[in-house]
Structure 1
Amino acid sequence: MSGHSKWATIKRDKAANDSKKSQVFTKLTRAITVAAKKGSDPESNSTLRLAIDKAKEARMPRDNVERAIQKGSGGGEGAQYEEVIYEGYGPEGVAFYIHVLTDNRNRTVSEIRGLFNRYGGSLGSAGSTAYIFSDLQNPAFDIEVRDAAKAKSILALAEALEDLDDVSEVFTNVKVPDELLNSLC
């Protein structure tokens, strides 16, 4: 806290905002790159069109979007990203379905396994939770957690997974009652 220098305060706030924006742009770039592998025309590739729309919502520069499309369609240099799904179980048997865009599977699985171990869960094999998430937005069944400590641990695991750079989406079948959720916040 500078106290006397307005520029120091602005610089600190700008650095924090730029860091958040950079994280979002990185995830969007990966999504566009992977989607462009299926075709570089947004009119015929709905996945690419959705990724571009998300990038526009986040106010991502057009040059970055075009570079990501070119990279995905084989014209650009740099790391090649691939889509990977990881599945596992957290505390209380809560299922996690994790969608990842990564350039290094070994690093990513190590990071995810470490988080599961830290929060009392385990990384499962392919297909271990897929049956629960046949419809990603509506799991086959929910697990209701009423214990505050366990709910906090599950939510912390989900947040830690989402904070990983390579992770694009995390789905879980946990259901925390609103009154418990409000008391945790």
Structure 2
Amino acid sequence: MAGHSKWANIQHRKGRQDEKRGRIWTRIIREIVVAARQGGGDLAMNPRLRLAVDKAKAANMPADTIKKNVDKATGALEGVNYEEVRYEGYGIGGAAVIVDCMTDNRVRTVAEVRHAFSKYGGNLGTEGSVAFQFKHCGQFVFAPGTPEDKVMEAALEAGADDVIADDEGAIEVLSDPLAFEPVKQALEAAGFKPEVAEVTMRAENSIELSGDDAARMQKLLDVLEDLDDTQAVFHNAELAGLGALQ
């Protein structure tokens, strides 16, 4: 979203996540379980698991809890079978919304997602209905004041695709998902610590909403994010006074 204030958007999103801190462990544990089941329990050979474990450590999850859930996923302990499922739909003003879930009961999950969309002014769409409006990529965001030229040098040498400065001077680095780990390591080795480092679905274009429409859209997003099976919600709405959450 070049030209918009990525920094304001990120700060707003982080603030709302802090309000829901108690839910973060549950989501991280599900991500660890699925990542370990799909790619094995060796961090060196499983980038997705390594990223999930990094998130767990950042959220102060005990090492024993991390290990227990990796063991569950790899068969060392009995655990719950989660599967990944993605729902796509439309919010207020036709804003595109993606809801990524992990569930042990698809029937329950789709009913809850559909109910949230319909009750709060959106519509659940079909597979592929909005995903084309997003790019699956690695994303790193640095605070205003970070030297753009040095970040750019380190990022591009490590294989990043693009480096973008927003209106407030924050810097966003984008990479292919497979290049996320080497770019992350190169940036950290150069002394740059991102405020955000994740593999995400980044909206290619945004829809601006304000007033009652912005408030209604935020309510829909909050309800979707609060569903027990939700892992992440991505959208392309830029909410006046709030910022565009991704």
TM range (shorter): 0.7 to 0.9
Q: 1:142 — aligned with what?
A: 206
SS in 2 for 1:144: strand
Q: 1:21 to 1:119 in 2, by over 3 A?
A: closer
Alignment check: 8 A CA contact 2:73 2:79 kept:
no
| Count of matched residue pairs | 160
Deviation string for 1:6-36 (max 9, x for gaps)? xxxxxxxxxxxxxx66522211110100000
Q: 1:169 — aligned with what?
A: 232
Q: 1:21 to 1:176 in 2, by over 3 A?
A: closer
Q: Which has more radius of gyration? A: 1
Q: 1:160 — aligned with what?
A: 223
Runs of 4 or more, structure 1, over 6 Å off, are none
SS in 2 for 1:43: helix
Separation in structure 2 between the aligned mates of residue 142 and residue 21 of structure 1, nearest angstrom: 27
Separation in structure 1 between the aligned mates of residue 89 and residue 75 of structure 2, nearest angstrom: 33
Query: Is it true that 1:127 corresponds to 2:128 in the alignment?
Result: yes
TM norm structure 1: 0.81
Alignment check: 8 A CA contact 2:33 2:73 kept:
yes
- Further displaced range: 95-104 or 130-139: 130-139
- Bigger RCO (CA 8 Å, 6+ sep): 2
Alignment check: 8 A CA contact 1:116 1:122 kept:
yes
Residue 104 of structure 1, CA deviation: 1.1
SS in 2 for 1:131: helix
Structure 1 vs Structure 2 CA RMSD: 1.7
Name stretches of at least 5 consecutive residues in structure 2 with no aligned partner: 1-19, 137-199
Letter in 2 for 1:141: N
Q: 2:40 — aligned with what?
A: 39
Name stretches of at least 5 consecutive residues in structure 1 with no aligned partner: 1-19
SS in 2 for 1:134: strand
Deviation string for 1:83-129 (max 9, x for gaps)? 11111111210110111111111111111111001111111111111
Alignment check: 8 A CA contact 1:97 1:133 kept:
no
